[in-house]
Amino acid sequence: MQDGKLQCPGCGRSSVVEDHETGEMICSKCGCVAEERLADAGAEWRSFRDEGDDKSRTGSGSTLAMHDMGLSTVIGAANRDSTGRPIAADVRGTMERLRTWDSRTHARTSAQRNLRHALTEMDKLKDKLALTEASLEMAAYTYRKAMEKNLVRGRSIHGIVAACVYAACRDSNTPRTLDDVADGINIRRKDVARCYRTLFREMDMSMPVADPALGVSRIASLAGLGEKTRRLANSILTKAKKAGLVAGKDPRGMAAAALYLACISTGEPKSQKEISSASGVTEVTIRNRCSGLRNMLEESQ
């Protein structure tokens, strides 16, 4: 930290900027990922009065991420009247009962209780994965559509929530894997994959092809690779996308293979094992993807 700015661990310069889409702190000079999974620190909803510097809270805006769209009223927890004086002791018990019934009336049916529980779990998962508000809104919209099609009945709430969050990440090009989502909500990976396939099939969803170039910076930072290697890896992946080699392949495996071939070209002493541990894919996957990329590079020469 220098003069209140975060220093890049790669080049040592104070040129680190925040990428709000991916939740990462990236150096604008060398591309090194300094931090990842940052919490969303967006502005609050506030209304500023014209007279003086008095500020008043207006509450949150309408959002799909809350079961009541954020529009229902709530009895406050402060035991004070309109003038700010403490209420009488014999009235406090009555107010507690009113708060309890007020909370219960917000979710009268089983579907409303299901939605409230699901959106609460979705908000927890959003914090664990450091997702943006836009991704959360998209996931909540998908879950509401799944409820309309009765896809939630008979299935795990956690599984459908995780599948909706993963679909939102795919649609917004946020680099979060199935393993990240499954670990965040603490269920098995294959359960998330099964629910995601159900949503994809029943709701006619069209997901964009995952771009492996989004994971190059993260893998390169973990493996300690230089900027020249990263740029060469991105160039290799650009050629692979034009040749149609990316579709249907694990983006992490493609990014790791491109980085390994770039290391060979630039002379950086990195083994397949080191890149495998940094990317989270096996060495066999890297070798298989390298074979296809090598053939493509040889044909293009």
Per-residue tokens: 133: 């508000």
pLDDT in tens, 39-66: 666 555 444 444 444 444 455 567 777 7
C-alpha–C-alpha distance, residues 236 and 293, integer Å: 8
C-alpha–C-alpha distance, residues 187 and 156, integer Å: 10
CATH number of 1-38: 2.20.25.10
CATH number of 212-300: 1.10.472.10
pLDDT in tens, 248-294: 788 888 999 999 999 988 888 888 899 988 888 899 999 998 988 88
Q: Is the pLDDT of residue 296 over 60?
A: yes
Q: If we measure between CA atoms, which residue out of 6, 39, 31 comes closest to residue 215?
A: 31
Task: Provide, rounded to the nearest whole percent, the portion of the chain with pLDDT above 90.
Answer: 20
**pLDDT for position 301:** 65
Query: What pTM was estimated for this model as a whole?
Result: 0.64
Q: If we measure between CA atoms, which residue out of 227, 289, 228, 222 comes closest to residue 255?
A: 289
User: What residue segments make up the domains of the chain, in order of their start?
Assistant: 1-38, 110-202, 212-300
Cβ proximity of 199 and 165 under 8 Å: no
Per-residue tokens: 59: 């509450």
CATH class label, 110-202: mainly alpha
Q: Is the fold of 110-202 the same as that of 212-300? A: yes
Cβ proximity of 290 and 260 under 8 Å: yes
DSSP 15: -
Per-residue tokens: 161: 């929530």
Identify each DSSP E strand in 44-119 by its residue range.
Answer: 46-48, 55-57
Per-residue tokens: 33: 């990922």
